[in-house]
Structure 1
Amino acid sequence: MGLNDQSLVDVRKVLTGKDGQLFVTVKGQQYLLSESNEFSAQLSINNTDYQPSGSSLVYAINTGFTLTLTLTEVVIRDDLMLLALHEGLKDGRLPWFDFSTKLRGYDGSYQRQTFPNCAPDGSIDLVNIKPGELVQRPWSFRCNAIPELLEYFKSA
């Protein structure tokens, strides 16, 4: 038997965290969040079980999904998201943000996704200081619109 060439991975083409970027849109202006060194967007699918009479198989029936975007920001500036949050606290209307991600491929191609209408969710560290450590602020958002895949990697 011969070697299956399709199972080999060219490690020169594997993407790492340095290949990704996160952007936020605040008041119509898009900014690179270079102060965010880690972020993730997760889709959580909700199913309900259905077992018809006479069937031993329990089916999963999709009833919806949620989208969560989380990031950790190294505190360099506060005039983007924290200022918008404080302004929202004052007038009782919390801000909504649009995010987009860009992942650069080894051959110059890109994967781009957008995550519109994201509302702050959960606990937000307004200030969290630890001597000898970077000042960081974790954020969590619920995305209230379906993400869009603008560009994607194609198989070679």
Structure 2
Amino acid sequence: MPLTDLPFATITELAAAYRARTLSPVEVTQAMLDRIARLDPALHSYLTLTPEIALAQARQAEAEIGRGAWRGPMHGVPIGIKDLCNTAGVRTSWATTILAANVPSENATVVRQLSDAGAVMLGKLHMTEGAMLEHHPEFPEPVNPWKKDLWTGVS
């Protein structure tokens, strides 16, 4: 699979490529981080990026898969975590300035389960303020990549 197709690859396709060793979690994660760096300044889809965490998790997944310690289809798959979900050691602001410095000490259940499954956290995704109706004016509003005049939606 060409690296240009990775953003559209399914979890099943990535899992099969990892197991066949035609792709590695590290190269897929790096390709996704490169894509985010290229596109996100205009799209504002991430509030917090975690490239160091992502690459460490990808290296761990690659080593585990290499020695046959397969955790399942999410193993090594890069994902974004909604900023509503607590992530241990990583800012969780709910897209509001009141919580801009909030760094939880524990993961939300869903984040723990994704981590246990071997998923790779690229960062925290933008959302409406506090999961309500509007975006906070101090955070750049995310842009719909498919049609810029359409709103990205509510939480």
Structure in which a larger fraction of residues adopt strand: 1
TM-score normalised over the length of structure 1: 0.27
Asked which structure has the greater RCO (Cα within 8 Å, sep 6+), the reply is 2
Task: Give the structure-2-normalised TM-score.
Answer: 0.27
Larger radius of gyration: 1
